[in-house]
Amino acid sequence: MLLVTGGAGFIGSNFVLDWLAQSDEPIVNLDKLTYAGNLENLSSLDGDKRHVFVKGDIGDAALVARLLATHQPRAVINFAAESHVDRSIHGPEDFIQTNIVGTFHLLEAVRAYWNGLQDVAKAGFRFLHVSTDEVYGSLGRDAAAFTETHAYAPNSPYSASKAASDHLVRSYHHTYGLPVLTTNCSNNYGPYHFPEKLIPLMIVNALAGKPLPVYGDGQQIRDWLYVKDHCSAIREVLARGRLGEVYNVGGWNEKPNLDIVHTLCQLLDELRPKAGGGSYQSQITYVTDRPGHDRRYAIDASKIERELGWRPLETFETGIRKTVAWYLTHADWVANVQNGSYLEWTTKHYGQTSEAAV
């Protein structure tokens, strides 16, 4: 049995679906179901006894303790996090509460549970914390990519809160001996991605005939990782990662944001041509850059390849084509997640007439 937190979000739900497609080991899925948590992602598991969903907060120590005592998981995988930089700029408190305070309460409940396990179960237990490359800060264009020993230098309330959670996890290993593992991933993309992030937002806006807003000059560089490759990396780290270690997980795909937008437009021109002709690129607009926007992230994923033999299977070209195809065939999912609360937030954040930018 695994306990997965945040398993109704983008990466978490992909992990749950991927795990249960390959294993009969059950999952208890704890998710608060904030705006980005969506049970529709997991609708294919309705009636599947291997998946037990519990609505709740990782900060609810009593609830987490009950779940641990009842289900006796051999591992906890922590995806639960507030994760959108723009939202953290406008409302950092939720990020502090979930990513720092919530992680603390989760660690305390897990530590108590782990201390009560018998020798074999205690030795085999793992706590895997899923984090981000944004904790390392921003890179110059020609600087070497982030390794696991790169100094932390978070530049947004989101990345600062994730950095704090990483440090808490590390401290629980070194102080209490809790058997932890941490992964720091680059930008994920793929199915079930909430349409406030760059790739799904551009697809959704393009199809709706809306502007495709690009921050600043669009030359912010990110490393892109197909979400199913990320899931396979987490499985490898859980199975064979060295205790207390950090593993950077990247796609070896550095791309400027503007190139991503152009690629999406070209794929949509091919797969869903505009009724009136012309290219979706005509919808690209440039908007004022966000405060403190990091210029470049890049992951050096050599360690996980060297120690665990993991490399991503998808190139950016294959992964992005699969992603666009998924959104084209899941219009109902997109419509359902774009509910009143999401539209209310984007209106407040970006104004009455503009769309969310990334």
Residues annotated catalytic, as ranges: 133-134, 158
H/E element, 51: strand 51-55
Under 8 Å CB-to-CB from 262, ≥6 apart: which residues? 281
10 Å CB burial of residue 319 (0-12, 13-18, 19+) is: buried
Say if CB 244 and CB 318 are below 8 A apart. Answer: no
Say if CB 284 and CB 246 are below 8 A apart. Answer: no
Cα gap 317→189, rounded to integer Å: 12
Q: How far is CA 354 from CA 119, 129, 211, 292, in A?
A: 58, 36, 8, 21
Q: Which of 58, 11, 357, 8 is nearest to 188 (CA)?
A: 11
Cα gap 156→296, rounded to integer Å: 14
